[in-house]
Structure 1
Amino acid sequence: MSGVVLARGIDAEELALRMGGAPGAGTEPITDAEVSELGMEVYRPGGRGDGVVRVGEHAGWAFAIEYGDSTGGDRLEEISRDGVEAIHYTPAMEHPPAIVIYAHDGRHVCGFGLCEEHIRWGEKPDLLLPDLVAAGILHPDGDTYCDPCPDDYITRRRSALAVIEERFGLSLPPALLTGARLTAYAVSGTPDMTTEDPDFDVVCDWATANGYPLPSGRLRLIPYLIRLAYRHATSH
């Protein structure tokens, strides 16, 4: 997962389209683990890599889970047009920090990095400052921390995320992000979104004989790296 986009005011399919997906091009529902079986080339020299999203809806928000070279950070103005609210979360461990950006009606309203909440930007950079103060993260001046030297940055990040969740009424269970079967769309590059390989049995037999892990039998898809190895080994 490379990011999460949430939108209030449109459904999941419209969110996928605003992120660059094609109408009617969604796959059958797949899990987080099954995304790896799609043909994605995340980095492509001289061009845009492949990006895929799995989309769904929960508690009044549409959401898109991003994989690869996705488009959430580039298309927030488009996603949030016509009165829609949109939030983009880009995870990271420490530095650069995980980023949260809130957009509304085609405008970037505010954003900040988790554990770097004193650096805020957007048309209304202090929109969430009262919430950050109430949560005991920042002092009212917006520049100094209540705890300037926290020992547990994981807890600090969770506190900042809790501010976002409470302010906007978000509640995405982790199991929904990973285990739920959701429709997937290509949003950038040229990923192979095929959900059944006609030569699945042949390649699967070759993979088994050559010590590769068995592909999923449910989707009947050959993972991209196994297919590359098969093509290399069987090409003449």
Structure 2
Amino acid sequence: MTSTVPALSTRTAEDSALQAVFLDMDGTLVDTEGFWWDAEKEVFAGLGHRLDEAWRDVVVGGPMTRSAGFLIESTGADITLPELTVLLNNRFEARIGNGVPLMPGAARLLAELRAYDIPMALVSASHRRIIDRILQSFGPDTFALTVAGDEIARTKPHPDPYLHAAARLGAEPARCAVVEDTATGVASAEAAGCRVVAVPSVAPIAPADGRVVVGSLEEVDLAFLRTLITGMN
């Protein structure tokens, strides 16, 4: 089989323009947004409440505190935020016990970035316990850094997770490409000054300056990510 990765000697000085790639997890690399919604519906059914399907777009992609808080307020469920957070994480973790499906194109993209030694960070609003479980679906050395929503004082849509990732990897945010699937994640990355590829998973995302919207990760490769950075100069 012929490799699609050119030899090291053919790479140009322009390659260094892209300093790092940051990727969201749920709905971007792994097909788990439906798992989360199902977990939420099951937990609230146990509490005697039925979730409105229209709420799915509200809770997708957000930090656990925001999503859980919204659902408590909307349903009037008699449960505290910390209690609900534990129930949701437990139910979701049970659902992914047999592994999680990767999004189309995810394995290929990660392999290409590894082949070129492009630093990668997984930046998620999910809690550390969930990230560590899902990381088993990837190679142990895939990411140089992982950022969990419960390890940052302000998670998405604030810029802090992506600013933290850039600082830890010694990269300029403007030289980092971010792949996200929700408006919440896109807002976080753009507020940090990163260039964004949006791959909508549940709700549509409109194109904008510094942002490209694609249909799936099958449309994203290293050359494509580099154009996000070189195109801004």
TM-score, with normalisation over the residues of structure 2? 0.28
Higher share in strand: 1
Task: From the CA coordinates, give the structure whose radius of gyration is larger.
Answer: 1
Higher share in helix: 2
